[in-house]
Structure formats: C-alpha cells, structure tokens
C-alpha cells in the first residue's frame, strides 16, 4: 500500500492527501491543488525524496483539488509523466475552461483554496488504459465524468471522491456533490463496480485509510440517496446547509470540522444536486 502524504492544506492537517507509490519509478496518486505544492514537497522529503525523484503522477480525476498542481510540477520537473483519463487529458493541456469553471464554482475563495492549473505539455500527458504502473484502472463516474478508481493487486483502492469525504477521528461522511457533473445513476454504477472488486481498504484523498470498505460503501449509498432525495423533494439550500452543518457539528470536534470545511462547502453540494435534477427535468420536458 502507498504512503499517505498530508498536503497540509492551508496549514490544516487531514484535509487533502496524496499517496506515494514507492519503487524504481516513484509515483503519486493525485497531486493536490496548486496552493499545496509546498506541502507536497515537504511530504516527499519526509520519505527521502525530492520532486526530481518522482517519475509519474496518476490522477483519479481533474478537479483542481486533485490535479491543480500538475502543470506547475511539470514546469519545474519536465521529466514527470501525468496519467489521466481520456476525458480529462485535453483539459490538462488546455486548462482554460477547467480553470474558469472552477472559479465559477468556488467564487471569491478560489485563489486562497485552490489556485489555477497551469497547462501541462501534451508530451507529458499519458492517457490511462486498463492498467498503469501495476494498478488496475476502473472508470468511476458520478462525482465527475472523468474520474477513475485505481486498484493494487492486494485490494488497496484509490477511489478519488467516489466514496465521499471522511476525516478521522470523526465518523461524519460527506458525499461530495459539487457542480457541474453529478450523475446519480452513474454514481450508483460506480459503487456497484467498486463493491464487486471487494476492496481491502480505501485510501481517501479526503482523508486517510478506511479499513472496512463494505460498511463504508453501504453508508455512502445511504447518505448520497438521502441528500439527493432532500434536494429532489424541494428542500431549500438554507435548510440543506443548516442540516448538514448540524450533523457535522454533532459528529466532529472543532479542529476536525475545520478540516471538513476545506472541502467544497455544503452549499456547493446542494448546487450540484439541484443542477442534476434541473437538467433531468429539462431532458424529460424536451422528450414530451
């Protein structure tokens, strides 16, 4: 299993992690946002590595909290290869639309929380197939169309954001549903696909190792369905956010709750689900 590197996002522990795959050609699963490059370098140093020792970045998806540092890292270390899904690859080479979309989603806090993705030269981008660096690659849409999950031979799974955010020691599980690509049926299919492979552990980017994947999968299914139903039934954004904040406050100490708040906020999760149902209604009206 890979080694967890805490990126110390904005100085907080347990917010965002990447995973170091050691060996002859060291690699990391995801690279974090641009604002966390210092934390990544410090984490590599704790394992006796410098950025120049890395050979590969394998991205679970291109949301900027996972991929945003890629361009700056390649500019500093031109030997890096960045592995990404076929859908995501063009957005690394020309990130203008991705940056603009992320700025719309995060608003005024974007520069402080995330930062822009610099272009990755096309010659440094490798499109993922069924396997990469000894890992099985499994499409994992729902949270994002371009998301993949990665499996080691021992059952260790790197699921991206497919199974939500859970920051120890809290048991609060946060289904991450920001706009613009939430697809609930696709997400259910992803959870089915993950369950079928019987993962031994989940290595979460937000945050840490989950030792009981079957129980975790059952919980994320239940919570995702419950949150979605509240939005489908017409609950207001204010009520949705207030309920989620109350759940978080009841389940996490103040320091851990602050780590959760480094993730896309509850209002963004409401917006992603609202957008999904609004688009679904438009498609149905267009078909009548």
**Percentage of the chain lying above the pLDDT 70 cut:** 99
pTM of the model: 0.93
Q: Which of 66-70, 141-145, 197-201, 262-266 has the lowest mean pLDDT?
A: 262-266
Q: What's the total number of domains in the chain? A: 1
Gap between the Cα atoms of 238 and 91, Å rounded:
33
pLDDT in tens, 236-280: 999 999 999 999 999 999 989 988 888 878 999 999 999 999 999
Give pLDDT, residue 275: 95
Domain that holds residue 216: 3-286
Q: pLDDT averaged over the chain?
A: 94
Q: For residue 169, what is the domain's CATH number?
A: 3.60.15.10
Give pLDDT, residue 35: 93
The Cα-based distances of 137 to 5, 22, 78, 127, 287 in angstroms read: 22, 18, 25, 11, 35
Give pLDDT, residue 110: 85
């Amino acid at each position: 299993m890979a080694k967890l590197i805490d990126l110390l996002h904005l100085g907080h522990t347990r917010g965002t992690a990447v995973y170091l795959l050691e060996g002859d050609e060291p690699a990391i699963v995801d690279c974090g946002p641009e604002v966390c490059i210092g934390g990544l370098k410090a984490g590599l140093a704790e394992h006796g590595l410098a950025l120049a020792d890395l050979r590969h970045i394998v991205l679970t998806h291109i949301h900027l909290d996972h991929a945003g540092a890629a361009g700056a890292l390649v500019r500093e270390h031109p030997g890096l290869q960045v592995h990404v899904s076929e859908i995501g690859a063009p957005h690394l080479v020309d990130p203008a639309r991705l940056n603009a979309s992320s700025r719309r989603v995060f608003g005024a806090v974007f520069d402080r929380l995330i930062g822009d993705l610099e272009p990755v030269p096309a010659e440094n981008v490798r499109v993922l197939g069924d396997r990469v660096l000894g890992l099985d690659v499994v499409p994992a849409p729902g949270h994002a169309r371009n998301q993949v999950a990665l499996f080691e031979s021992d059952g260790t799974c790197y699921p991206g954001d497919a199974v939500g955010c859970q920051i120890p020691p809290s048991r609060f599980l946060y289904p991450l549903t920001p706009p613009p690509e939430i697809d609930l049926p696709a997400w259910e299919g992803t959870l089915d696909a993950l369950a079928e492979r019987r993962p031994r552990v989940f290595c979460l980017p937000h945050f840490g190792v989950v030792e009981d994947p079957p129980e975790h999968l059952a919980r994320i299914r239940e919570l995702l369905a419950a949150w979605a139903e509240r939005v489908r039934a017409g609950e207001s954004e204010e009520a949705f956010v207030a309920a989620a904040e109350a759940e978080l406050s009841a389940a996490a100490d103040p320091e851990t709750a602050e780590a959760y708040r480094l993730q896309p906020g509850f209002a963004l999760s409401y917006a992603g689900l609202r957008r999904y149902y609004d688009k679904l209604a438009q498609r149905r009206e267009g078909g009548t």
